[in-house]
Amino acid sequence: MNHHTTATAIIGAGFSGLAAGERLYASGHDFLVLEARNRVGGRTLTKHYHSDIKLELGGQWIGPTQDTMYELAQRYGVETFRTFNAGRNVLDLNQQIKTYQGLIPKVNVFSLLELELTLRKLERMAKQLDTAAPWAVSKAHQWDNLPFSEFLLRQTCTSAARKILWAGLETVYGCDLAELSLLHALFYIRAGTSLEVLLNIDGGAQQDRLKGGMQGLALCMAAPFQERILLGSPVQTIVRNGDAWHLYGEQQVVHAKHVVLALPPSMIAQIRFEPPLPQALAQKIQGIPMGRVAKLLAVYETPFWRQDGFSGQVVADEYAPFQTVFDVSSPEHRFGVLLAFCIGRKLELLFQLDKNQRRDVVLHHFNRYFGAKAYQPVLYEDHTWTDESWSQGCYAGVYTPGLWTSAGHVGFSALPYIYWAGTEASERWYGYIEGAVLSGYKAADAVLNAVNS
Ligand SMILES: Cc1cc2nc3c(=O)[nH]c(=O)nc-3n(C[C@H](O)[C@H](O)[C@H](O)COP(=O)(O)OP(=O)(O)OC[C@H]3O[C@@H](n4cnc5c(N)ncnc54)[C@H](O)[C@@H]3O)c2cc1C
């Protein structure tokens, strides 16, 4: 068993843990980062294939109002590029294919009206929330006990409006809409600026990507303090003894005064605490399961759909194995890449098939939209985060109905010198990489304040 003593132990080398490390390093503070995986980046993962193909299997996009991400990219000399967003989009409804331009698909006037009114209502309601205390809004209990899906069903009666809302919003939230409360849906909107920003490519959260891939930025952040990151070092038990915390893994124990938990709640719930976490806190972190998202990617010799005037974007109903499709080709290579998001119940169904069968199902649908060339990818890849032991899902933890009002205010303050980071600890851009980085900086500032006070 190796023993290490440090002032601050950061658990997790995702963007939040790296941001905390970056700030502590800059201030000359002593720290160690313990990371379970054999890589940094957490829920971002840029996989390199032969022929220079790089695919983003995890978080990839940034957009306006995510100022910290743009600053980071600039600081490390990482260039950004725009997501392709021109041409006709496809709407796959009731096994019929239509095309449209812009954000809202072409459907009958009643459905259009319902869509517009529902989106506007969500924007209005979200504006009432203070993201530091979502449980304090006047209708908090009513909104928190209502599953988001139920709210949407009450707002709409046309099947087209419902199907479009379901595909679009499941892509935003990364889970079935019955799994989260209306209050959490509104908090997420407010934390991410507005629903319009969350949904859009241009001017929205899907606007830009990083050359070299998102994980490349994580590697840049880690580089200056590489020797302080212990990879392959999952923390299994955290013991309070005397005035220190003792973090036990299989091969090492780390003794530290301060501990930053740069982890999603579901991963904190896997760690055994001695003494045990206060009951209310333990119940809270267990009440925030991860969303369920898989990425399905097909790489082609060229983005051939563009020549036919298609944007590569698709919104699909329950007959397709995914909710939405995007063109995620990169100017760094000549290939065309289509990315489909497969979420919630669709993920459970699709991943009962083996990889070849999944490929056939996905390409069959791409062929319906873009023609026979879709059957000839140079590479098909898919990846589900529910199978990753150190994430157990994504994009983020989902507050189940009733949780914000019963336990939203419960935190780690009863535990001396423990700080919670991670995108799920952020009041701004919850669920996104920007939120992770902001939470890491905040936790590091709290450590430094405690040291200096
Ligand atoms: C498919 C997908 C698409 C996404 N798309 C986007 C997007 O386009 N834009 C965007 O902004 N966000 C996106 N996200 C979300 C974004 O990736 C996350 O919000 C962000 O990366 C979370 O960072 P984090 O540091 O909070 O947590 P994590 O990245 O989860 O980091 C936690 C780290 O802790 C480690 N760990 C876990 N348990 C232990 C333990 N016991 N001991 C030691 N280490 C442990 C994990 O291995 C991990 O490295 C997406 C995520 C996924 C998976």
According to DSSP, the β-strands at 336-343 and 237-241 are: unpaired
Q: Distance from the CA of 229 to the center of ligand 1, in angstroms?
A: 17
- Asked if 64 contacts 42 with a C-beta cutoff of 8 angstroms, the reply is no
Task: Provide the token pair at 299.
Answer: 């790489």
Ligand 1 neighbour 229 (Cβ under 6 A):
no
Residue 257 CB partners (closer than 8 Å, separation 6+): 7, 8, 243, 244, 245, 417
Regions of the chain short of the pLDDT cut 50: none
Closest C-alpha residue for ligand 1 atom 20? 433
Does ligand 1 have an atom closer than 6 angstroms to the CB of 188? no
Per cent of the chain over pLDDT 90 is 96
Residue nearest ligand 1's atom 52 by CA:
58
Strand partners, 421: 262
Q: What is the 3-state secondary structure (H, E, C) of 232-266?
A: CCCCCEEEEECCEEEEECCCEEEEEEEEEEECCHH
Distance from Cα 43 to the centre of ligand 1, integer Å? 3
Q: What is the pLDDT of residue 329?
A: 97
pLDDT of residue 107: 86
What pLDDT does residue 424 have? 98
Q: Which amino acid is at 339?
A: L
Query: Does residue 390 have its Cβ closer than 6 Å to ligand 1?
Result: yes
Query: By three-state DSSP, how is residue 157 classified?
Result: coil
C-alpha triplet 170, 429, 34: angle, nearest 5°: 100
Residues 170, 313: Cα–Cα separation, whole Å: 15
Residue 62 Cα to ligand 1 midpoint, Å, equals 15
Whole-angstrom distance, CA of residue 67 vs CA of residue 84: 21
Tally the residues of the chain: 453
Neighbours of 289 (CB within 10 A): 18
Ligand 1 near 292 CB (within 6 A): no
Atom 6 of ligand 1, residue of closest alpha carbon: 59
Ligand 1, atom 1, lies closest to the CA of: 58
As a whole number of angstroms, the distance between CA 145 and CA 49 comes to 46
The pTM (predicted TM-score) of the whole model is 0.98
DSSP label at residue 16: H
Please state which CATH class domain 2-43+212-277+415-452 belongs to.
alpha beta
So where are the chain's domains? 2-43+212-277+415-452, 81-103+203-210+291-390
DSSP states along 366-420: HHHHH-GGGG--SEEEEEEGGG-TTTSS-S-B---TTHHHHHTT--STTSTTEEE
- Please give the radius of gyration of the chain, using alpha carbons only, rounded to the nearest integer: 22
Cα distance between residue 208 and residue 210, in whole Å: 7
The answer to whether the CB of 171 is under 6 A from ligand 1 is no
If you measure from the C-alpha of residue 38 to the centroid of ligand 1, how many angstroms do you get, rounded to a whole number? 14
pLDDT of residue 73: 98
Pick the atom of ligand 1 nearest to 267's CA. Answer: 38
Q: Are 164 and 92 in contact (CB under 8 A)?
A: no
Find out whether 178 and 148 touch, Cβ atoms under 8 Å: yes
Q: What is the pLDDT at residue 52?
A: 82
Would you tell me how many other CB atoms lie within 10 Å of the CB of residue 303? Answer: 19
Give me ligand 1 centre to Cα 440, in Å. 12
With beta carbons less than 8 A apart as the criterion, state whether 303 and 93 touch: no
Compute CA distances 240 → 11, 146, 223, 273, 447, whole Å: 16, 39, 31, 8, 18
Contact 314, 422 (CB under 8 A): no
* Contact indicator for 12, 20 with CB cutoff of 8 Å: no
pLDDT score at 51: 75
Residue of 244, 101, 134, 129 whose CA lies nearest to 195: 129
**81-103+203-210+291-390 CATH:** 3.90.660.10
Amino acid at 187: F
Which residue has a Cα nearest atom 7 of ligand 1?
A: 59
CB of 35 closer than 6 angstroms to any ligand 1 atom = yes
What would the two tokens of residue 351 be? 């991943």
DSSP-derived letter for residue 289 is: P
